[in-house]
Amino acid sequence: MSGTIDLDIIRLPHGKDLPLPSYQSTSAAGLDLIAAVPVDAPVMLAPGARALIPTGIATIDADYRGEVQALLVNLGSEPVAVTRGMRIAQMVISTVARAHLREVDVLHKTPRGPGGFGSTGY
């Protein structure tokens, strides 16, 4: 690992008894996020269904202060129950580069040129 940073989060009332996101191995890039759904009300995902699942924590961005939620999709053929405390996603902390857009008249030529998706042969 190249280093660590401090990340301020708030544990929301419906996540007070759940563990904070954590790395599950020494080399893991992502912190496991936990489902903060009610014990007596798991979220049932039918095949093809989607649901926004709460994690019980807030503040993950320089300016976002809302709850971290994960959009889950059941791509399988059987229903899936999302239960309290289930590991549902990973959160990867990353630096972000912001671009300053410059309008130009011509872009320099490349071997790929204007070829789109699939044009490189892969």
Q: What is the dihedral of CA 38, 84, 48, 31, to 10 degrees?
A: 130
User: The tokens of 33 are what?
Assistant: 């996020």
pLDDT at residue number 86: 98
The structure's pTM equals: 0.80
Q: Cα 5 to chain center, whole Å?
A: 18
Instruction: Please report the pLDDT score of residue 62 as a whole number.
Output: 82
Instruction: Give the number of other CB atoms < 10 A from CB of residue 42.
Output: 15
Q: Output the CA torsion 71→76→78→83 (10° steps).
A: -30
Specify the amino acid at residue 14.
H
Query: Residue 4 has what pLDDT?
Result: 86
Closest CA to 38 of 54, 22, 27: 54
The dotted CATH code for 10-92 is: 2.70.40.10
Low-confidence ranges of the chain (pLDDT < 70): 1-2, 119-122
DSSP string, 45-81: E-TT-EEEEEEEEE--SSS--SEEEEEEE--SSS-EE
pLDDT at 35: 98
